[in-house]
Structure 1
Amino acid sequence: MSTATNEVSNEEPATLSSMAGHEEDINHQTVEEAALKSTAVSTQRISSSLRRRACDTCRARKVRCDRQDPPCNRCVKMGVACHYSGRTKPTNSRMGMSRFLETLNNRLKQAEAQLASTHLMQQNQPQFSVAWRDVDRTGLPTKPSPPHKTPSQEEAQSHWSSVPAPTYPTYDLQESDDLFNQMSVTTSATSAKEASAFLPLDTFIASNSETIMMAQTMLDNQPLEFEPTIFDIPTPTTEPMPTVLATILQKLYERYFEIFHPIIPIINRTRFEHELSQPCPTVELQALSYAMGALAAFSVPELQDYASFYHEQARNLIDLCERQESGDSLENINILQAYVILTLYELKQPNFARAYLTLGRAIKLVQILGLDNAKSDSRMYARWGLSKQSSHSISPAEQEEKRRVFWSLFIFDSFASLRSNICPTFTGVINVPLPSSSEYPDFLDETMPRLDEVFGLTETISLSSFAADTLMISLYQRYFRHIESSYDETSQGFWETHYAIDKAVEHCRKTLLAPHMNGNCGNDPLAIGLRMNLNTLKINLHETALFRVEKDQLPENLAVEANSKCAFAVIDIVKAVQVGMQLTGSRAVTFRQLDRFFVWPITTAIQVCFRMIYNGADDFASYISFLRILSHAMKEIIDPEQISPGLLENAEARIADAARSVRKK
């Protein structure tokens, strides 16, 4: 033992000199000297050594350690310092470390996505009348603003610290792209303080740099307490809307009204722009604005990241309004319209379950507010614990907006039932007038009939393509109920219902909806979609009749009649598809944005062509030609994820077989 002590003593000066300045090593050296002074090892220390981990030196060299009280025998032989590190207990800072790193990683991903989208937008500009390059992801202009309009640096920095952020000034939407090309020259002449005011990306990266420095501090000083970053959502009365007045959202509003308003004409643009011009727009209007921005940005391939960003902001603000204690926000028309737009946005995504849940929330809110019944009274509000309706009178234009919101959800509800095979919510007699045929801002307070009254009218009534869609949907609901009851219905009851629905469809085609059918729709994309879906309803109705004929072994002439009507409907669908594919400009974009509602018609028409070819129809070549047109249109306008697996492959195989048979002849 004395020999070991002398060896360690000889090595002690060199060891201390190599560890000078390191407080931790000095402490370990002190422990070592104290240990060497004791010549006897107690039984308690021996038993504790059995529970001790190997010393740091042995663990580093990955060799066996006898775990004796410092020094262990191996360290004595090697002539190196020996010390043990205790087992560290998890501290609060380490427990929060994973959450912190997750937050940091999310921020870095946001920065990377912003940089990537900015680089992509600079190289590939969409060919639209608006210039998308003039703005960044948050909607803030990337051009220097005039000196008297330049936001302060604190405002720019606070944009990323909370949602929403301070209001930014408006900019002229018609500025030339030449200004963007001169930005590098202008920016170099601008002071650093001014530059940081209109370049939020720099501010965002700077805030991330501070976060990284904090991470390094935490790693160096473990006892530092850490609290995860919490982003506060302001209450509706405390914060103005941040980016509604920004350039990119202004341009997205224009695109929304140009492309999507013909599909769902639910927003009075005059009212919307008036509320938008107020100094502090409400949170309900912010939610609507973000929803409009998400849907409009989704139609531009280069702005997909923007669409996701605005969609998330709209959902967050709607959730905020739903959590409001008073419930006043739920009565705001902007919230209902935001729900409708988000439903359409999500219906265009692969995740149908999310869209169905959003649609369900919107439908329940409409039922709570009594918009599905024109005779709802104020007692309805007390039933749901809501405040009384405002005392100011509701204008006819406001009433029309609410009606159009309801009818939009009526259409989406029936469309979702087609996909989910769940009965629609709005069935039976609906005590709500149809949408007016006039358009904002030239809205006329015209008296419109209810849906159940239209089919009994003797005179012709003017219906918009949007109102015409509600008639087509009501016919689909009748067909849906007919299918459900056909399994238990007698043969006589089945055919009575069948002919009643067929008569109503023909009445719509030839009288009620004649301006929108058979080539009279012109360049209206919504009317083209109406024509395709009404023909699809006719096909399904008569295919059900074919099934009943085969099941009950009825006369063959019933099957011949049903097949001829299916063939006529397929021809009309093909003609409508050709008209839609020939559209140009904004109408062509609107037509393609209806792609989700073309899956059912085109798929049904292709399947009828398969059946006709299989049964050896006389006009075999015509159905091969129809397959070419329909499969080409499906490839062009419908997302591949929405197409039934193997459908296009089968169509191409039939076309190839037909081509080979022609060559053999």
Structure 2
Amino acid sequence: MSHWRRQQPGVACEDCRKRKLRCDRQRPKCGACSNSGLVCEVNTDRLPRGPKKGSLKAMRNRIMSLEEQLHEVDRRAPQRDQFAGLNHDTQGKRAMRDGEQSQYSDSNNSEEECDQTSPRGVKTLAAVRGEELLSDLMQADLDQLYFDRVHATVPIIHKYHYYVWSRNPGLKHSQVCLRNAMWILAMSHSSQFENVREAIYNETRQKLEENDLSENNMNVVQIEQVQAWILITSYEFLRSSYQRAWFSAGRVFRLVQLLRLHELDNHSELLQMLSASSSQEEEIGREERRRAFWVAYCLDRFISVQNGLPLTLNEEVICTRLPCLESEFETGKIMRVSSLSEAIAACNVQTPLSPLAECAILVTLYGRALSHSHVSTVEQYYGNTTQDFWFRHEWIDFKLREKADTFALKYPTTTIFAEPMLLMSFMILQATTLYLYKIMESMSVDDSCGEKVLEYQIQAITAAKKIANLTKEHARIGYFNGHVFIPAAIYLGIERLMIQRDAHMLDMQFLEESSIGEGLDGCLEILRKIQSVNNLAKYYLNLLDSGQLGDSRPLQP
């Protein structure tokens, strides 16, 4: 049976193409152009339609190669159903088993699903895929992202030292966990990598738990374990369950105590002699331990003050000096820094301190305000309220004023906003002032102290306005550059501004002149904007929406 051609041989003219006519392809002039009296133009240089020669074959070969790789993964991972929870629905799970769709099709798992997915649920996936989840280029990108966005708020890892050991082929178990934890936290500071972040997080957390519970480690704890748990805890406060983060923080504190990081400089004279003969690498390692302790110390204060709970790491037993300057840490030329008690007592403008050291000093005052609150509550319970209340209260207030003056002289406004840890420190300064007045409000104060109460009230309102101004500036530096606990300070400012607004609801002139409404709106706006990347912001917004001002009990999972 013969087949007629669909069209005449040759190329249609340009005019017939434009008018979508069937060209008879006659030359030198087709029939349509002859009838209309137009010039018949033919483009002989037009590219042919369809795929290039050999491209389909190359695509088939590539598909076959990918299928072989998937079969190899199936052979090595027979229990892939364990991590089917990474997908949204049963169709995704079935397709994952059949190899018809990528294992990582879902890039937006809900937090509830992540909580229900056991860390052990992705063991096989992470064990099989591991680094294969991330290409070499992605790994390098995450390393850079960590030191660009995360290191400023968690400065516990020496950059050059990390690049040296992370490139070694035979990494220790704790080093692998630390490297993965760095990547996970870096992913949480970016809008990319959503499709692999939870899988790597679950696998890394499981490895850390197995290492902690191992019967063969002879109670030997590596500093990388502490560092990894610090980063995992920070990630969980940002993106995971608050309760899980709380428990992880407890692991951090116990590991810090087990390694006795609170007494690294207990024998200062002996250490000074040893440091003179020690290598630069040993000095960097010792400084990394100091920094791990102080970040854990700050974490303890942030969590405890937020929920009004007792502290875990006791300030009175610390024999570890404050962390050195960031420039000294990076170059390895580490100088001796004062102790915490010396820094609080001296408050010297001329003495340069690292942002982490400044934060440690201020969270110490924050923690002392919390202890002051606990002691005052017990005194009131037993009816033993004495002048000790005012002595403690005024001492903390004096140190806060002294620190505020020092801060103003040492750090210009531009420097504070350029350094996330300094910005957080300044927020803590104002938040502690608010917390002091909050303690006074909860106490039965004599009428004779009315003048003092009024003075502290004015200080609290001023501190709330400063938090509002800082929050406005914080919005300009980007959502991913802020400290994880900055929503807690913003909430304290909102709480005081709301109380002040409600007290002067009928005095519109006062509200306009005092800019309370503007500051309040600015704080609420930034919390709404960062709630997608910070679960604490979401929590405080829910607290405000429910009208439970002053209630900052632990979050539920």
TM-score, normalised by the number of residues in structure 1: 0.58
How far apart are residue 620 of structure 1 and its match?
Answer: 1.1
Deviates more, 1:184-193 or 1:335-344: 184-193
1:613 aligns with 2:514: no
Name the CA shift for 1:647/1:493 in 2 (closer, same or farther; >3 Å): same
Quick check: 2:122–2:202 contact (8 Å CA) kept in 1?
no
Quick check: 2:363–2:428 contact (8 Å CA) kept in 1?
no
Quick check: 1:240–1:281 contact (8 Å CA) kept in 2?
no
Number of the residue aligned with 2:36:
none
How far apart are residue 614 of structure 1 and its match?
Answer: 2.7
Number of the residue aligned with 2:299:
412
For 1:393 and 1:201, the matched residues in 2 are separated by 49
Number of the residue aligned with 1:14:
none
In structure 2, give the amino acid aligned to 1:316: Q
For 1:438 and 1:209, the matched residues in 2 are separated by 46
Post-superposition Cα deviations, 1:255-301, rounded to whole Å, max 9, x if no partner, equal 11111011101111212111121122222111112211221222334
For 1:344 and 1:572, the matched residues in 2 are separated by 26
Post-superposition Cα deviations, 1:466-486, rounded to whole Å, max 9, x if no partner, equal 211101110011101111111
How many corresponding residue pairs?
430
Name the CA shift for 1:535/1:187 in 2 (closer, same or farther; >3 Å): farther
Number of the residue aligned with 1:188:
59
Name the CA shift for 1:246/1:530 in 2 (closer, same or farther; >3 Å): same
1:645 aligns with 2:536: no
Number of the residue aligned with 1:525:
420
Post-superposition Cα deviations, 1:488-534, rounded to whole Å, max 9, x if no partner, equal 15341111111100111112111267434756514222222221221
Per chain length, whose mean CA-contact separation is higher, i.e. which structure has more relative contact order (CA < 8 Å, sep 6+)? Answer: 2
For 1:186 and 1:317, the matched residues in 2 are separated by 43
How far apart are residue 465 of structure 1 and its match?
Answer: 1.5
Deviates more, 1:624-633 or 1:242-251: 242-251
Quick check: 2:263–2:319 contact (8 Å CA) kept in 1?
yes
Indicate which of 139, 147, 152 corresponds to 1:257.
147
Number of the residue aligned with 1:447:
336
Quick check: 1:294–1:306 contact (8 Å CA) kept in 2?
no
Aligned-pair identity (%): 18
Number of the residue aligned with 2:290:
403
For 1:305 and 1:289, the matched residues in 2 are separated by 19
Name the CA shift for 1:481/1:518 in 2 (closer, same or farther; >3 Å): farther
In structure 2, give the amino acid aligned to 1:445: I
1:501 aligns with 2:392: no
Give the 5 Å matches for 1:112-191: 188=59
For 1:335 and 1:422, the matched residues in 2 are separated by 26
- SS in structure 2 at match of 1:434: coil
In structure 2, give the amino acid aligned to 1:188: M
How far apart are residue 323 of structure 1 and its match?
Answer: 4.0
In structure 2, give the amino acid aligned to 1:441: E
How far apart are residue 577 of structure 1 and its match?
Answer: 1.0
Give the 5 Å matches for 1:293-312: 293-312=183-202
Indicate which of 324, 327, 340 corresponds to 1:436.
324
Deviates more, 1:250-259 or 1:511-520: 511-520
- SS in structure 2 at match of 1:645: helix
Name the CA shift for 1:208/1:360 in 2 (closer, same or farther; >3 Å): closer
Post-superposition Cα deviations, 1:160-199, rounded to whole Å, max 9, x if no partner, equal xxxxxxxxxxxxxxxxxxxxxxxx98962856675567x6
1:579 aligns with 2:473: yes
- SS in structure 2 at match of 1:461: coil
- SS in structure 2 at match of 1:348: helix
Gaps of 5+ in 2: 1-54, 82-93, 99-119, 268-277, 549-557
Name the CA shift for 1:325/1:501 in 2 (closer, same or farther; >3 Å): same
Post-superposition Cα deviations, 1:275-330, rounded to whole Å, max 9, x if no partner, equal 12112222211111221122122233443342211111211221332244442784
Quick check: 1:370–1:376 contact (8 Å CA) kept in 2?
no
- SS in structure 1 at match of 2:345: coil
In structure 1, give the amino acid aligned to 2:292: V
1:570 aligns with 2:460: no
Name the CA shift for 1:566/1:240 in 2 (closer, same or farther; >3 Å): closer
Number of the residue aligned with 2:234:
344
Name the CA shift for 1:311/1:620 in 2 (closer, same or farther; >3 Å): same
- SS in structure 1 at match of 2:263: coil
In structure 2, give the amino acid aligned to 1:615: A
